[in-house]
Every structure is written in C-alpha cells, then in structure tokens.
Amino acid sequence: MIPATFEYVRAKSVREAVSLLQQHGGRAKLLAGGHSLLPLMKLRLSQPEVLIDLGPVEELRGVREEGSSVVIGAMTTHDELASSPLVRERVPLLAECAAQIGDVQVRNRGTLGGSLAHADPAADYPAAVLVLDAQMECEGPAGARTVPVSQWFVDMLTTALRPDEVLCRVRVPAQTRGQGWSYTKLPHPASGYSLLGVACLLSVDGGTVREARVAITGVGPKALRLPKVEQALAGKPADEASFAEAAKLASDGLDATDDLYASAEYKRHLAAVYTKRGLLRALERVRQ
C-alpha cells in the first residue's frame, strides 16, 4: 500500500511551518510521527498534496519544568514521555498513559502533539490531559494562542486548532503531592487502541475525597470529563463503596457509539467498571 503522490517539504521552525501552511492553504498537512497520518494516506483515506514535516523543528522537542507546570514539546514521542524522569516525577499520570499507547514501535515514532491534533476517538492522551487541565499552546499567522483543554476536543477527529496553526507545546500543571492518579485502559486486542480508557486524579483529606477528576476516552466521538461522577465523589469517604456508587453514574447520559468490536451498551457497562477500577488504583497511590 503506497500513498498517493505528494510534495514533501521540511520545516525548520514553527514560523516556517505556519507560513508553509498559509502558502498551500487546505492542500497541505503537517507530518509529525506519521503514525496516524501515514496509515490513512496508505489507505488513500487522506490525500494531502503537500506534507510539511515537523521532524527537523528542534523547538518542538523536549520536556521542561516551568514554575509548577511541565511544558512538553508537541514533537515529544510517547516513548520519550513515558521514560522522562521529569514527567514520571511531576505528572506520572501522563507517563503512565504514554506507556500504554500501542506498542514499542508506535511509541518510538508517535508524538503527543500528533495525537492531540488528530483527536482519534480511541486515543489515550485525551482522557489524561482532560483531568490534568492542560493548556494547548498553538501558533498561527496571527501569533501565539493558548487553548484550555476543556475547549480543545470538538468532535471526532476535530479540535479547536485552526487549519493554519501548529500545536507547539502542551503545558501541564504538575500533580500535587499526595494526589492519587491512574490511567486504566482496555486495549483493543488487535490494534492496541483503547476500547475505553479512564483517567483519574484523586485528592483525599483524612479519608474524605476532597476532589476527584475523571475522564473517559474511546466510548464515543470524543473524550469527556465525567462531572456527575466527580460531583458524586466530592466529600464522600474514599472507599470502595462510595467509588462503586459514583461509578454507576459514569454511563449516565454517556454518548457511546457502536463499533465492530463492542456495542454502545457494552461500552456503557465497561465505563462504570473501569471508572471504579481506576478510582481504586488512584486511591492505592494516595496511600503510598
């Protein structure tokens, strides 16, 4: 399987990538790790006339600490995230999520920015960045702009990113000491993508849930926070009984879609099961 022909250009800076996007209008696409785009191009589901490779753009790489946040370049690979000592120390939820994506080869090529720009409904990062309240830092012809993650995911494969913008960095507030976390996924047995994945962040004060944040990916067109579950947990004892009670609300009004592997009904059932599991794992980490 060979993609349709295209013109290939290497961008050396974000500014150059933006001006190339402007110059080619809707005919061009950015290329990051290529692990979503190239498979689509091989199937000819996507046929961009121009590919703008972000590979050489140094400023899009690397992870650094800035105040109480960790700032991650869009071109950072899943493997670099999963093995970064800084990410593992300050945002272990994101490292745990990155480590569960696909397989080693996919993690060696795929990037954080590519995954968040692509917004595959079965991608893993969306649930993690939603509970972490990340900020998406983009650059376009009009300059830089920051989009809070709560406004990022618009629909299946659709984000708030404009066609002539590059997602440059993801700014993630560091997790606080004593906060529990977990990313729990059910991988599709063939592809490794999430049938569903649940991200949890849990703050507990003297045995009582002070704040719980829960998000789910894979079940519907886009990843979502689960506010009903979060509200039901606030102020409750941090124990299995209240987690089980709150997790029942995970499927309440959840927009689940049937796919070849699982029915919407089964996914709604799994949402409650995985929410409870995720909360229990997060609680274990509070206690550690």
Partner 1 sequence: MNVTVTVNGVRYSRDVEPRTLLVYFLREHLGLTGTHVGCDTSTCGACTVLLNGKAVKSCTVLAVQAEGAQITTVEGLAQGDRLHPIQQAFWDEHGLQCGFCTPGMMLAAVDLLQRNPNPTEEQIRHALEGNLCRCTGYQHIVNAVQAAARAMSAAVGAPSGGE
Binding ligand FAD by CB under 6 A: which of 18, 82, 117, 128? 117
Residue 217 beta carbon to ligand FAD: minimum distance, rounded to whole angstroms: 8
Binding partner of 2, given ligand FAD, partner 1, none, CB within 5-8 angstroms per partner class: partner 1
Contact between 73 and ligand FAD (CB under 6 A)?
A: no
Contact between 171 and ligand FAD (CB under 6 A)?
A: no
Contact between 158 and ligand FAD (CB under 6 A)?
A: no
Q: Which two tokens stand for residue 39?
A: 């498979």
CB of 17 or CB of 224, closer to partner 1: 17
Q: Is the dihedral of CA 34, 38, 39, 45 positive or negative?
A: positive
Binding ligand FAD by CB under 6 A: which of 63, 110, 137, 170? 110
> What three-state secondary structure class fits 259?
coil
Residue 165 beta carbon to ligand FAD: minimum distance, rounded to whole angstroms: 7
Contact between 94 and ligand FAD (CB under 6 A)?
A: no
CB of 36 or CB of 242, closer to ligand FAD: 36
237-276: which residues touch ligand FAD (CB under 6 A)?
none
Residue 9 beta carbon to partner 1: minimum distance, rounded to whole angstroms: 9
Binding ligand FAD by CB under 6 A: which of 3, 102, 140, 178? 102
Exposure letters 167-192 (e unless 16+ CB within 10 A, then b)? bbbbbbebbeeebbbbbbbbbbeeee
The C-alpha angle with vertex 261 and arms to 188 and 196, in degrees rounded to 5, equals 50
Q: Which two tokens stand for residue 239?
A: 């124990």
Instruction: Please list, in sequence order, all residues whose beta carbon lies within 8 angstroms of the beta carbon of residue 43, skipping any fewer than 6 positions away.
Output: 1
Which residues does residue 210 pair with via DSSP β-bridges, in sequence order?
Answer: none
The C-alpha angle with vertex 161 and arms to 173 and 23, in degrees rounded to 5, equals 130
| Cβ(152)–Cβ(142) below 8 Å | no
**Binding residues for ligand FAD, per CB under 6 A?**
29-37, 39, 54, 74, 101-102, 106, 110-111, 113-115, 117-118, 120, 123-125, 161, 166-167, 191-194
